[in-house]
Amino acid sequence: MVSWIPDKTGRFGKRPFYKEMELDRECEVIVRRFLEHKSGRVRFPLTTDDLFVLVEQNVSDLDVYSDLSADGFDVEGVTNFAVRKRPAIKVSETLSTNDGRENRYRTTLAHELGHAVFHDEAFQARFAAGDLFNDRGEARVVCKRETMLDAPQVDWMEWQASYASGAFLMPREALADLLRPIVTASGKLAPFRTGSEISNEMISTVTDAFGVSRDAARVRLIKLGYLSDKPLMATLFD
**The amino acid at 43:** R
| 77-97 residue pLDDT tens | 999 999 999 999 999 999 999
* Dihedral-angle region of residue 137 (phi above 0 means left; psi in -120 to 50 means alpha; beta otherwise): left
Q: Kindly report the average pLDDT of the chain as a whole number.
A: 93
Task: Tell me what pLDDT residue 137 has.
Answer: 74
237 band by pLDDT with thresholds 50, 70 and 90: very low
Confidence of residue 233 (pLDDT cuts 50, 70, 90): low
Name the region of 219 (left: φ>0; alpha: ψ -120 to 50; beta: rest).
Answer: alpha
Helix (H, G, I), strand (E, B) or coil at 124: helix
Q: What is the pLDDT of residues 95-154, one digit of tens each?
A: 999 999 999 999 999 999 999 999 999 999 989 887 545 556 789 999 999 999 989 888
Query: What are the b/e assignments for 155-184, b being 16+ CB within 10 Å?
Result: ebbbbbbbbbbbbbbbbbebbeebbeeebe
CA nearest neighbour of 34 among 25, 24, 46, 19: 46
pTM over 0.85: yes
Of the candidates 14, 4, 7, 13, the one whose C-alpha atom is nearest the C-alpha of residue 132 is 13
Q: Which of 10, 2, 31, 4 is nearest to 154 (CA)?
A: 10
> How high is the pLDDT of residue 46?
96
Q: Which amino acid is at 137?
A: G
Cα 227 to Cα 28, 45, 194, 195, 220: the distances in Å are 21, 21, 6, 9, 9
Rounded Cα–Cα distance for residues 158 and 215 (Å): 17
pLDDT the model gives residue 232 = 63
Whether pLDDT at 60 is above 80: yes
> Which pLDDT value is given to residue 136?
65
User: If you write DSSP's letter for every residue of 25-74 in order, what string do you get?
Assistant: HHHHHHHHHHHHHHHSS--SS--HHHHHHHHHHTSSEEEEEE--GGG-TT
* 234 pLDDT more than 60: no
What pLDDT band is residue 203 in, cutting at 50, 70 and 90?
Answer: very high
Q: How far apart are CA 211 and CA 220, in angstroms?
A: 13
Kindly list the distances between the CA atom of residue 6 and the CA atoms of 3, 12, 90, 107, in Å, as whole numbers in the listed order: 10, 8, 29, 29
Quickly state the pLDDT bin for 59 (edges 50, 70, 90).
very high
CA distance 149 to 127: 29
> 11, 6, 29, 49: which is closest to 167 by C-alpha?
29
